[in-house]
Amino acid sequence: MSTAPYTQYHTMVYNSHLGVYVETSDSCTLDNIWHFKADHTYEMSEGTLLCSDTPPYIAKGSWILNAEETQLLMEIAGDTIRFGLQLGATNDTLILSSPIPGTNSEKILLTR
């Protein structure tokens, strides 16, 4: 996985009634920047479109790939979140997917 920053461009949730993923992104999240560093730390920060009047949100933590490089484990605010991981052919696109209690799954799409 490249250490170059990725920009979030979609968040989708699976709608089991319709059988498809539906867009759930607030417009303010569509320019968030995700930077996965070589030292296995990450930083996710808001882009220029802020979601509130408070100072820009920045999340920091650690990340690691499983041996098969099919799952990304991220430490977020003291919790470990396991994402399914799909890399685009040139590593320019990441698709993170995770189960959410009470629903089927969520997908976060990132691109460089």
Strands (E), 16-78: 20-23, 33-36, 41-45, 58-65, 71-76
Question: Which domains, ranges and CATH numbers included, belong to the chain?
Answer: 6-111 (2.40.128.270)
* Tens digits of residue pLDDT in 62-73: 999 888 888 888
Per the structure block, which two tokens stand in for 11? Answer: 């968040």
pLDDT tens column, 68-111? 888 888 887 778 888 887 777 667 888 888 765 445 577 888 88
Say which DSSP state 27 is in: G
Work out the mean pLDDT of the chain and round it to a whole number.
Answer: 79
pLDDT, tens digit (0-9, with 9 covering 90-100), for 33-43: 889 999 999 99
| Residue 107 near residue 95 (C-beta atoms within 8 A) | yes
Whose tokens are 């920009």? That residue is 7
Task: Report helix, strand or coil for 29.
Answer: helix
Please, how many CA atoms are within 13 Å of residue 53, restricted to the half-sphere of its CB? 0
